[in-house]
Structure formats: C-alpha cells, structure tokens
Amino acid sequence: MPIVSRGFKGKRRGEGPSDRVPPGQYLTDDFPVLSAGPTPHTPVDQWDFTITGEVDELTRWTWDEFRALPSETFTVDIHCVTKWSKLDTVWEGVRLDTLLERVETAVDYATAYCDGGYTTNVPLADLAGGRAWVVYGYDGELLDPEHGGPARLLVPHLYFWKSAKWVRGLRLTATDEPGFWESNGYNLYGDPWREQRYWGD
C-alpha cells in the first residue's frame, strides 16, 4: 500500500456528476496539452483535408473549400485517458457526416492521419450520426496550434487520444488498423464509459 501524503489533493476539482464524468476520471478546469511530438505549424494555404483509401474517388478540400462547408458551434464534454475530463467545451467545425456524404465506400473503418505522423483508428459508424467533427474553432477563437490547429478531429464519445490534433485526412480501410497508440497498449476502441483504456479492457 502506498503511504498517504498528508494534505495532498492534486489539482483535481472533484469527481463531478456521475452521468457526465466516466469512471476513473477527474474534472479539470485547465486544458492540458499532451503531445506525442513537436507542434507542426502548417499554414492554411498549405493545408488540405483528404479522404483516401478504399474509396471510389479521392476527395480533397483546400482550407478555403473546407471553411465554406456547412459548420456548427456545439458544446461537448471531453475525456482524456490520462484521467482528466473537461465539461462544456465549445467547438466550431464541420460534421464528419458532411464530409462522408461526398464519399462512396464499401468499408467500415477509418484511420485519421495527421501532420507530424500521428494516426488513430475509428470505426466509420462512430464518425457518423452527428457524433464526430473536424473542428477549427475552440471557445470562440481559431484553434491554437498547441491544441491541434489549424484543425483537429473531435470524437468526444471516445477517449480524447482519438480526437487527433493537426488532422489532414482519413484513410478508409476494410479492417480496423491500430493507430499510433492503439498499436502499443491503448485500446482499439476507447469507450470512456466502459473504461476501455488499454488492451484487454
């Protein structure tokens, strides 16, 4: 048994309401920055978003084309596998439904790929139905590079490592191919409500 350090509480604000905060998570007011590599600073005139892989035709949007797509501002809770949760975060971006309706595919999985080389896998079904976005705004401002700007994937019903920063596209695949963390210990799916943190959870 580890010994208790008198008076130590940590930065946690508390456990929060159990219908909002998944098991094993703690609330934070901060927005911690976690990164598996250096922060890319991709100018928007060099940015595009591409859907590739098992598709009938490669689909690509430039920054201006992407910003011209129908967008929405919405509020969701986010849950990081390192045990912090942040409630009522406000984002602006494009629903994945809007992007995927331009694409003809017969497969069921997607890998998001990013500047800097990060990847993460998500079933296509989880990207559909108004549950996933590519966001470029946070809290009324353009998304800061340290939080994934120009744009990041946002899949708030899964652990936050799935919400890939600096996202540049989706590669559609016939099988569920483990991404950067999923290939080395982290759960292939990552449902915070079932506490699917690691392999075998």
- Report which of 157, 178, 175, 155 is spatially closest to residue 165, judged by C-alpha positions: 155
- Report which of 164, 158, 147 is spatially closest to residue 112, judged by C-alpha positions: 164
Nearer to another protein among residue 8 and residue 70 (C-beta): 8
Q: How far apart are alpha carbons 60 and 110 in whole angstroms?
A: 16
Least separation, in Å, of the C-beta of 62 and another protein?
A: 27
DSSP codes joined into one string, 40-89:
P---GGG-EEEEEES-SS-EEEEHHHHHTS--EEEEEEEE-TTSEEEEEE
Nearer to another protein among residue 38 and residue 140 (C-beta): 38
Least separation, in Å, of the C-beta of 42 and another protein?
A: 15
Give the Cβ contact number of residue 187 at 10 Å.
22
Nearer to another protein among residue 18 and residue 184 (C-beta): 184
Nearer to another protein among residue 7 and residue 70 (C-beta): 7
Interface with another protein by CB under 8 A: which residues?
Answer: 2-12, 26, 28, 30, 32-38, 80-82, 84, 117, 161, 180-181, 183-186, 197-199
Q: How far apart are alpha carbons 141 and 136 in whole angstroms?
A: 9
